[in-house]
Amino acid sequence: MTDHGKDDTGTRILIDGLGKTYRRDGKDTEAIEDISLEIRQGELVSFIGPSGCGKTTLLKLIAGLIPPTGGTVEIDGRSCTTPGADRGMVFQDFALLPWRSVRKNVELGLEIAGVPKAERRERAENYIKLVGLEKFADSKVYELSGGMKQRVAIARSLVVRPDVVLMDEPFGALDAQTRNIMQAQLIDILGSTDQTIIFITHSVDEAIYLSDRIVVLTKRPTTIREIIDIPWERPRDRSAPEFNVLKKRILDYLEKENVMEN
């Protein structure tokens, strides 16, 4: 059991010998060399690694947006070769519809899923509140700041309640204070659902604060360097000695491989 009391006996996502080489204009870029990993239902697993190592590529492979050049990704035994309603993605660049209102953007996934209008409204309303944008529900997305757009993207992916949420640096554009609030809210949301979260971040602090496990990646072509279990109860104390010892260890490694933030 994880510390939020979920049944984590069943394997949800099975990544086996996954590899990806991009081929463009006769030039090969090997992004992912070889990744194998099992992720249990209800787990929050974060991936951290050097800039450009292949994190977004990995998420797109799990989302079924691009095909692998080696290996497989399966969810509950089904191959993830196409996108599906069981997986929701928060993109690094938001991927919002700028001319639609916040409300309409958040309702989009529900619309596609055929959820009736009244229910759509209500569910969207809840998630808009959750990310603190109720005053902006009718604003057009292009009018918002980067951090606000990011919150719309988060609400839009969570409102559909997919079994697996794929988050690509979802809090990267937020100021430190909003970021901490969103992290705490994500833990609350997780505590009350059985959603599996795959979370990419550049922040070691964020990874330790949120994750059941942290997968540390090598530089490109990427592979798993280390998998770290974090059994501590949530909410976690950022000032605890063990928190900071672990943080320093991961940071030292990433700095050697070329990186990055706190």
Ligand X SMILES: Nc1ncnc2c1ncn2[C@@H]1O[C@H](COP(=O)(O)OP(=O)(O)OP(=O)(O)O)[C@@H](O)[C@H]1O
SS (H, E, C) the chain: CCCCCCCCCCEEEEEEEEEEEEEECCEEEEEEEEEEEEEECCCEEEEECCCCCCHHHHHHHHHCCCCCCEEEEEECCEECCCCCCCEEEECCCCCCCCCCEHHHHHHHHHHHCCCCHHHHHHHHHHHHHHCCCHHHCCCEHHHCCHHHHHHHHHHHHHCCCCCEEEEECCCCCCCHHHHHHHHHHHHHHHHCCCCEEEEECCCHHHHHHHCCEEEEECCCCEEEEEEEECCCCCCCCCCCHHHHHHHHHHHHHHHHHCCCCC
Interaction of residue 220 with ligand X, rule CB under 6 A = yes
Q: Which is nearer to ligand X, 165 or 200 (CB)?
A: 200
Interface characters, 48-87, with ligand X (x: CB under 6 A): ---xxxxxxx------------------------------
Query: Among ligand X, Mg ion, none, what binds residue 54 when CB lies within 5 to 8 Å by partner kind?
Result: ligand X
Nearer to ligand X, 33 or 74 (CB): 33
219 part of the interface to ligand X, by CB under 6 A: no
Query: Smallest distance from the beta carbon of 57 to Mg ion, in angstroms?
Result: 8
Tell me, residue by residue from 121 to 160, as one string, x for binding to Mg ion by CB under 5 A and - for no binding. ----------------------------------------
- Minimum CB distance to ligand X, residue 92 (Å): 6
Q: Which is nearer to ligand X, 102 or 215 (CB)?
A: 215
Q: Cβ closer to ligand X: 53 or 198?
A: 53
Q: Which of 2, 11, 56, 101 binds Mg ion (CB under 5 A)?
A: 56
Determine which residue in the list 2, 11, 14, 22 makes contact with ligand X, applying CB under 6 A.
22
Q: Which residues in this chain contact ligand X in the complex, by CB under 6 A?
A: 22, 24, 29, 31, 51-57, 92, 220
Q: Which residues in this chain contact Mg ion in the complex, by CB under 5 A?
A: 55-56
